[in-house]
Amino acid sequence: MREARAAAEAGEVPVVMSGDGLIGQVGGALADTNSAMGIIPGGRGNDLARVLGIPPDPAGAVEVLAAADERKIDVGEVNGHRFLCVASFGFDSEANRIANETRIVKGHLVYAYAAFRAMIAWRPATFQVALDGGEPTTYRGYSVAIANSQAFGGGMFVAPHAKLDDGLFDIVVIDEISKFRYLSNLPKVFKGTHVEEDGVIELPGAGSSVAVSADRQFGVYADGEHLTDLPATLRVLNRALRVIAPPGPA
């Protein structure tokens, strides 16, 4: 990240050709600087680019860089680690771990494969979520997603109403439902229609800070990376990052 900050200090525009993990790290390092960040999608998920409307092919992404339109977007922070897309834990922790370890499935399908694998040994967990310093609410089920952006996992629109520039997290909780029902709802996540189903709790624009814990240990994953472990405190850095992206709402 030193290279990105050095480029910013020299008045250059850092351009990241990678997946969401490295893009999130560089974006976090450039937050609250005067430098814009360019993106060329180069990973398995490419979810930030997808939400921003940056084409997946290098030629299309370079055209976006050449147009030099900019947006200011929010940056998330969990236990001091910054991210750009969605922080989640619970069942998602196991699925992310499997996705990062597997080599037998390629592309965005690795995340669906990981979800099926994680389901075999899964048992429900109890989560506590406190918004903006308030009293915690207890949930029991599969996972909690704290979303700065709409998508994760290679095109899964887990928080379809999240906005990248509103200074607020959306929260999506998957309640205690049967394994069969969870898996049957999984294809709906790619369209964001899962939030219309019973057993899915969606809290759009829930708050700018969140404290979370669970009844057993989980890693917190964001931008496809294991950033920290529970318990965790998250906050939004409002419109802290300039990105080169097509004009329009994020």
Q: Where do the structural domains in the chain lie, given as residue ranges?
A: 2-75, 81-236
Q: DSSP character for 88?
A: E
Enter the pTM of the model. 0.91
Q: Which residues pair with 209 in a beta bridge?
A: 235
Instruction: Map tokens 């771990």 to a residue.
Output: 97
Distance CA 146, CA 160 (A): 12
Instruction: Map tokens 């092919």 to a residue.
Output: 57
Distance CA 221, CA 83 (A): 10
**Domain at 81-236: CATH code:** 2.60.200.40
Q: Write down the architecture of domain 2-75 according to CATH.
A: 3-Layer(aba) Sandwich (3.40)
Q: What number of other Cβ atoms are within 10 A of residue 157's Cβ?
A: 24
Print pLDDT tens along the chain (250 aa): 667 666 666 677 889 999 999 999 999 999 988 899 999 999 888 999 999 999 999 999 999 999 999 999 999 999 999 999 999 999 999 988 888 787 665 556 677 788 888 898 899 999 999 999 999 999 999 999 999 999 998 899 999 999 999 999 999 999 999 999 998 998 999 999 999 999 999 999 999 999 999 999 999 999 989 999 999 999 999 999 999 999 866 5
Q: What is the DSSP string of 134-195?
A: ---EEEEEEEEEEESSS-BTTTB-SSTT--TTSS-EEEEEEES--HHHHHHHHHHHTTTGGG
| Identity of residue 84 | L
Q: Is 221 helix (H, G, I), strand (E, B) or coil?
A: strand
